[in-house]
Amino acid sequence: MTNPTCFLHSPLDMHIHFREGDMLRRVAPLSARTFAGGVIMPNLVPPVDDFGRLERYAAEVRTAVAGHAFEPYMTLFMRPYTEKELASMKDRIIGVKLYPEGVTTHSDTGVGNLRDVEDTLASMEEMGIRLMVHGETSDFVLDRERAFLPVYEDLAARFPRLDIVMEHITTLEAAALLDRHENLYATVTLQHLLITLDDVAGGLLNPHLFCKPIAKRPEDRDALLARALEAHPKLAFGSDSAPHPVDRKECAGCAAGVFTAPVALQMLVGLFEENGALDQLQAFVSDNAQRIYGVAPPEKTVVFEKTGAVIPERYGDVIPMYPGRKLDWTVADVH
């Protein structure tokens, strides 16, 4: 008797952190093995915010994923840009990422006042350049996304031809916005479909589940999961996989980020199977993104078998989500 199988065609990760240097070379192939493409975040030090930096980083990423059928979709870090600057980089990026100042890793040079980038947003709307947003304020930690939602509504109303992606949404209210504005879209992570704040800090603190935006309440998790399981047409998978060395996670003042890249697809297959929604997974991890972002990723088929495997304790000096836990589904073949 053969093991059950599942096939995914050209899966995409529409929000991922590859870092630079040794970390990039370590983690990028783990994504490129099974994903056909990914949206690469620009919050490096210094950020990816000019033509030369963009070209150099794109070349470094392509070198790191060489040998895999994987297309990196590059992004720019939001600052005031001239029309000439945007025009020179338009064909090399999938969007511009807005980080409010100081809300997450390497966002100290983010946008402090939206008025500073009003002209840039107007130019992006005219040029058809997508806006991608880390939607949080500096309010009480559980309320930061909710407090930012009026900003999304304001932007969506004032720039109706600007496609806006609410990155890694975490609340039921954010999920509801998908049905209220035609030009609002969203990504959601694996961890926010699985965990709540109780998993992070309800017992002993688990630093490897600590991320920003922080995991929320059960009702938030359940609302996000419902949207994912139905493959809501304006929602795409974006792992927000964010590797940090173990000494930056298991310490006082630990870094925010959950490293899921090597196991995300396997865990999603299990999650969707458990909820009787395997027929919706292809749309959630690829078809929706291809339509929303207008991309045509490389052809790739990932075959999963229900054989079981154990998540490695670490990948180099990076610890993944749920190290040592058994997975029901494993990657049997990629072609």
Rounded Cα distance between 239 and 260, Å, is: 7
3-state secondary structure of 45: coil
The answer to whether residues 297 and 236 touch, using CB atoms and an 8 Å cutoff, is no
Measure the N-to-C terminal CA separation of the chain; round to a whole number of Å: 24
C-alpha neighbours within 13 Å on the C-beta side of residue 175: 21
The values of phi and psi at residue 208, to 5°, are -80, -5
Q: pLDDT value at position 17?
A: 98
**Does the reported pTM lie above 0.75?**
yes
Burial of 256 (0-12, 13-18, 19+ CB in 10 A): middle
pLDDT of res. 1:
52
> Do residues 304 and 331 touch, judged by C-beta distance below 8 A?
yes
Residues in the chain, pLDDT under 70: 1
Which pLDDT score is estimated for 312?
96
Give the three-class secondary structure for 259: coil
- Reported as a single tens digit per residue, the pLDDT across 85-120 is 999 999 999 999 999 999 998 898 999 999 999 999
Q: Give whole-number Cα distances, 82 to 52, 88, 120, 124, 184, in Å.
A: 16, 10, 7, 10, 24
Q: 13, 49, 163, 240: which one is catalytic?
A: 240
Structure tokens at 211: 């991320």
Bridge partner list, 236: 187
Tokens of 133: 């947003």
CATH fold, domain 5-334, is: TIM Barrel (3.20.20)
User: What residue segments make up the domains of the chain, in order of their start?
Assistant: 5-334
User: How far apart, in whole angstroms, are the C-alpha atoms of residue 226 and residue 185?
Assistant: 16
Give 252-278 pLDDT, tens digit per residue.
999 999 999 999 999 999 999 999 999
Establish whether 50 is a catalytic residue: no
